[in-house]
Amino acid sequence: MADQHFLPAAYLGGFSVSPNRSPRERAVWLRRAGESEIRWDRCKNLCSGEDIFAIKNADQVHAVFDLDTGQYESVDILERDAIDRLWNAYESHITPSIRRIVDRSTPTLARDWFYLGQFVADLFVRGPDFESSILERLRRHPDPRAHVILPDTVNVNRRTERARILPAVWGSLWSIVHALPESRFITSDRGLCPTWGPDDAKGYAVPLTPSASLILYGTTMDMAPRLLWNESDWTAIVGHFDVDPDGVARANLAMWEYAHDAVFGAERADIEILDDSMRTVPQDLALADVTAAHMLSLDGDQRRRQRDLVLRMKAKLRTRPAQPELSVLSGLWKDARPAA
């Protein structure tokens, strides 16, 4: 039996004021829905379960019903820890990547954008609600073949859903909002909540530290973010904005409303002002709003272009541009150069 975290302990450790050098060993304040007690606990003890990502029938070829195409697709034989290895590939990079991306004084390295994009996409598929969400979607599908639920259906679908969501996350507009010194962001056991921007733009807020939160808005491909070559490395264009204490308070309330069960903060005062009466969003609606629907609202052609974008991105990030001072990697991953 292995204890597996659905919210990385390294991420939670970023919301602690504990001096411990290991994020896993740090402690945060937490409040659970339905409980009046506010506790202090180590991050390694939170948001985990035994073998929740283990492939039980690891010696079999799995068939997955694709909710997009309505067809069965075969999945190669998976090792028992195949799903957990998806998370392990980037978890050691979470802490340094967050530290660099919230630093508005330096360009955002593309590799940090790359790692954090995986982290954000996986918040949608590794959380405590994914099982009930994916099973309900399969049961509601009109094709009776979708109703066949096998022991590994949930975990194999984590990988399938991740493949859908990841291009949409990378193809979104990214901004970092910074709290003023007198206010702090909290996070939840879901790690995100829906948010709405100018012109009713739909997206998600992902608190990264007590002082900074990532905001993602879904967008069409012609508005996708660009990567620029900056002398020695690819960098990502990420906006930075300040938010006043009232804005932080509204963001924290949204995290509480859309939490599955618990919220976490650096200081007791950050969460003791919350109570159950403030959780006004019914859980079935809350779950519907945290299934990446805001990221996946593009049409089929745009979605295919997003998937192509990911393949091109992985290849591009391993190369140096022919003209470093001019090369720009756009949303369609073509070099854009000024006219002669």
**Average pLDDT along the chain, 340 residues, taken 10 residues at a time:** 87 90 91 92 93 84 74 78 90 94 91 93 91 87 84 88 85 91 95 84 92 86 62 85 95 94 95 90 73 65 66 69 46 32
- Distance (Å, rounded) from C-alpha 258 to C-alpha 284? 10
- Distance (Å, rounded) from C-alpha 277 to C-alpha 176? 30
| 172 in any annotated domain | yes
What is this structure's pTM? 0.87
Residues 6+ apart with CB under 8 A from 81: 53, 54, 55
- Distance (Å, rounded) from C-alpha 207 to C-alpha 187? 6
| 334 in any annotated domain | no
| 227 in any annotated domain | yes
- Distance (Å, rounded) from C-alpha 114 to C-alpha 170? 8
pLDDT at site 237: 84
Domain that holds residue 267: 92-329
pLDDT at site 212: 98
| 195 in any annotated domain | yes
| 278 in any annotated domain | yes
pLDDT at site 306: 65
Residues 6+ apart with CB under 8 A from 304: none
E strand spans, the chain: 3-5, 27-32, 38-42, 48-50, 62-65, 72-75, 108-109, 173-179, 187-188, 193-196, 202-209, 212-217, 227-229, 234-236, 239-243, 262-265, 328-329
pLDDT at site 302: 64
Phi, psi dihedrals of residue 90, rounded to the nearest 5°: -125, -10
| 115 in any annotated domain | yes
- The sheet carrying 108-109 orders its strands as 108-109, 234-236, 227-229, 328-329
pLDDT at site 231: 75
| 202 in any annotated domain | yes
| 69 in any annotated domain | no
- The domain tally of the chain equals 1
